[in-house]
Chains A and B, each alone.
Chain A
Amino acid sequence: MTDAARGDLLVVDDLIVEYPGKGFRAKPFRALTDVSIRIGQGETLGLVGESGSGKTTLGRAVLGLAPVTGGRITFEGEDISHASRKQRQKLSRDLQVVFQDPYTSLNPAMEIGEILAEPLTIQGIGPAESKARIKELLDHVNLPSDALHRQPREFSGGQRQRVAIARALALSPKLIVCDEPVSALDLTTQARVLDLFLQIQQDTGVSYLFVSHDLDVVRHISHRVAVMYHGEIVEQGPASQVTVAPQHPYTQRLLLASPVPDPDRQEVRRANRRRLLDEQKNPDLVAAAGS
């Protein structure tokens, strides 16, 4: 209860996720090891890491889409590590998701109106009320109201991602898990969708667990940042610190690996990165030089 008292919306303690191995008596595959994060009201926690680092798995575990082997996930003081489908249904009012691929996250056979109505109908909201709410949502994500009777394939990637965001917003949730929501988008589209995420947070006070492989994206949108590497969190702290002056060697490498759009600054960064790699390869040498 102390967590809730501190105003934390989501608390993950020592989470372990293991997928059963393929084949009979195969060793299970451990995707997450002792992961702990917390997200406050109206706060964005950026989760950054490379492919296979477990960042997506953490988001899926919070959503009940990955098996929790150990540890605890608490949402508003309630243990949801092994929530049943019924509990999830109740939980879905407050906990929602936006996935990476806007092409497969919307059912191609359904109209936009049906897609947006689905979460409302599950909660027993009547057709008239849900229709009004859907109009409001489309307006909120800057989509025309005639989108209602169209199918997902009639929209561009950025527009589809707006539909997915509208679906997540339908029940005015407290936390949205965003799994690489801008990675499949073009640069200019990415900028507009990031603006939308920020705008929504300003308007509604929603919290985000924002998963991305791109340190720049995470720096731009997060209050705090956690860095994942091989299924563990190696560094966690305020965005301004983790994404600018990181402590952990992996985060340092990550920061310097991303090229900047200026040939001269990039040359400097390249040199810094080389130096860092050398230092990390020969820590003794550096220690000797430092003393």
Chain B
Amino acid sequence: MTEPVQINASTATLARTSVFKRILKNPMGLFAIAVLSIMILVAIFAGWIAPFGENTANIGKTLAGADSVNLLGTDSAGRDTFSRLVFGAQTTLLSALLCAAVAISIGLPAGLIAGYYSGPFDSAANWVVNVLMALPGIIVLLTIRAAFGPSVWISMIAFGILISPGYFRLTRTAVQSVRNELYVDAARVSGLSDSRIITRHIFSVVRAPIIIQTAIVCGVAISIQSGLEFLGLGDPTVATWGVMLSEGFKNVYLTPTLLLWPALAIGLAVGSLVLLGNAVRDALEDREKVTVSKRNDPPTVALQMQRGPRKRTASVEVGTEKHLVKVSHLAIGYPQANGTLKPVVNDVSFTVDRGEVLGIVGESGSGKSQTAFSILGLLPPEARIISGSIQFDGEYTVAPGEDIVNQSRLSELRGKRISYIPQEPMSNLDPAYTIGSQLVAPMVKVLGISKAEAKKRALKLLSDVGIVDPARTFGAYPHEVSGGMAQRVLIAGAISCEPDLIIADEPTTALDVTVQAEVLDLIRDLQKRLGVGVILVTHNFGVVADLCDRVVVMQAGRLVEGGEVREILGTPQDPYTITLLDSMLENKTPMTMLVSQGGTKS
């Protein structure tokens, strides 16, 4: 079972605060919006704000410093720098918008159509995109300027076309990821027309990325345009920041401040647009985050836990060293934003002896996998041991009072004495390396044998786990074998260094039933033959009955019941165990209600 995020319906209504409010709450977003709003206002009311016309020259007063008439001084033609800066905002912002508008109006529809229908239009559009992306942008713009004259607008339309692939790819990818979503299928079954499906279900997905992309594109447009004008290729009759920059650079030895103001304006505008894009992205991601952390909260405990004085690894209680694994009163928690730890495992105790198979049974969110990973020392780094201890073969791996698993102690054991069989066979093999090399490397490292020796052992192991052609599988890449075969490979890896304990996390859940039966047979045979202890994490009582000697049942982080497998499955005491067993379909009268009168919650 993948563990789905369980969200309690009554706690999550807070999630939908408006994205815009979040952007304003973010200091970067607030700054960006403030700067951009001021710039837009200045641009709109340029005629009123600027004391002089953009080209009004005072030949008698060139390259002057700041004074009460010319707030920021004048340029080499005696034009007022402040006025030109104000008019420059107009042209610069409008041209950036034009560029983005052109790019969107080409890229968005093309991306929607290509993504939704694929087929020949998609191939053609992709070809055009490849051509556009191979074009050296600025050189094309230079050519276009040479052909059509130094108009800001023409070059920005051209640049809009040149960067439309950005929108195209963004939209196409988003649409492709949604096109096969089940809710789109459901809409098709309802007979919704393609255009309604696109506007209703698909457009909402691309909206946010488009806004972010537009902020970034406007920034790029401003810097490209300023760059072109800086080269001296702008329209000299129109005041823009780029033209001013170029003018300033010519006089950099005489009046460096002429360079400062337009550079500052460009930097502020581009910077604000980038910040805005980031703030929008953060606001959208934040919204996701809030809802995820809003699980049905059990009471949280304060982060400051009782913590014993640090000392050398304590020795375990006398008489318990005979157990292979002993977990005592274990509690695991994750830090929350408010500084508390939220427990996911609470006061769990059990033991496993050599050659014994213990099942940990529970539904999603029961903490069964967390418990197993704490024994392996493979909890996520932010996880904390709140209380309790874990000992392996007579020594603590988590001593009482320690709040994280001691990695140096466990790295001695992992792979060598404790090994792991994961749930999902395919994602647990590195796709970039052959199966053989992934089996050989741990043996070379852990057992200290040569590569040739390790290869010989790996081939033997592969045949031991029932693979018919070991040599071929040895040389294959993970994507070249089936799921069942990959799981056999992972089992071979788990036993390769002759461990004392195997932790198997839902080892058959991802497999077909017939393959599951074969893999269960394999695990049983190997366990008997090697006399290894096994902790089997599962949600399936059938698997427990098939393999386990003893079983513990977990619910919401707590251990509700434990004992011999016949005892628990035959005469369960705890009401939760009884409910679970009652939910099994095997041996029930078909077509009858399982839960009396149907519950109201699920």
Contact = CB atoms under 8 A, between A and B. Distances in A.
Asked if chains A and B are in direct contact (CB within 8 A), the reply is yes
A259 B540 contact: yes
A192 B541 CA distance: 18
Contacts of B592: 198
Given A97-B189, A105-B183, A188-B583, A147 B9 contact: yes
Given A85-B193, A159-B9, 17 more contacts: A100-B182, A107-B201, A118-B192, A154-B7, A156-B4, A187-B539, A188-B579, A191-B585, A192-B602, A198-B592, A213-B513, A216-B585, A219-B590, A254-B513, A259-B516, A261-B584, A263-B566
A220 B183 contact: no
Top 10 closest A-B pairs, CB basis? Answer: A89-B191, A158-B602, A259-B542, A261-B541, A105-B182, A257-B517, A191-B583, A216-B585, A50-B512, A191-B594
Contacts of B582: 191
B514 A104 contact: no
Given A154-B12, A162-B602, A213-B513, A259 B182 contact: no
Nearest to A152: B183
B566 A198 contact: no
A91 interface: yes
B18 interface: no
A97 B185 contact: yes
Interface in B156-211: 181-183, 185-194, 200-201, 204-205
Contacts of B194: 85
Contacts of A156: 4, 6-9, 602
B285 interface: no
B77 interface: no
Interface of B: 1, 4, 6-9, 12-13, 15-16, 181-183, 185-194, 200-201, 204-205, 291, 363-364, 512-517, 520-521, 539-546, 565-566, 569-570, 579-588, 590-595, 598-602
Contacts of A96: 189
Nearest to B296: A156
Given A195-B595, A221-B590, A85 B191 contact: yes
Contacts of A239: 590
30 contacts: A50-B515, A63-B189, A65-B188, A88-B188, A89-B192, A91-B191, A101-B182, A104-B181, A104-B183, A105-B181, A105-B182, A122-B190, A151-B15, A154-B7, A154-B9, A155-B7, A184-B4, A187-B583, A188-B579, A195-B595, A198-B593, A214-B513, A216-B586, A257-B517, A260-B545, A260-B586, A261-B542, A261-B544, A262-B545, A266-B545
A261 B586 contact: yes
Interface of A: 50-51, 60, 63-65, 85-86, 88-92, 95-97, 99-101, 103-107, 109, 118-119, 122, 142, 144, 147, 150-151, 153-159, 161-162, 164, 167, 184-196, 198-199, 213-217, 219-222, 239-240, 253-254, 256-266, 270, 273
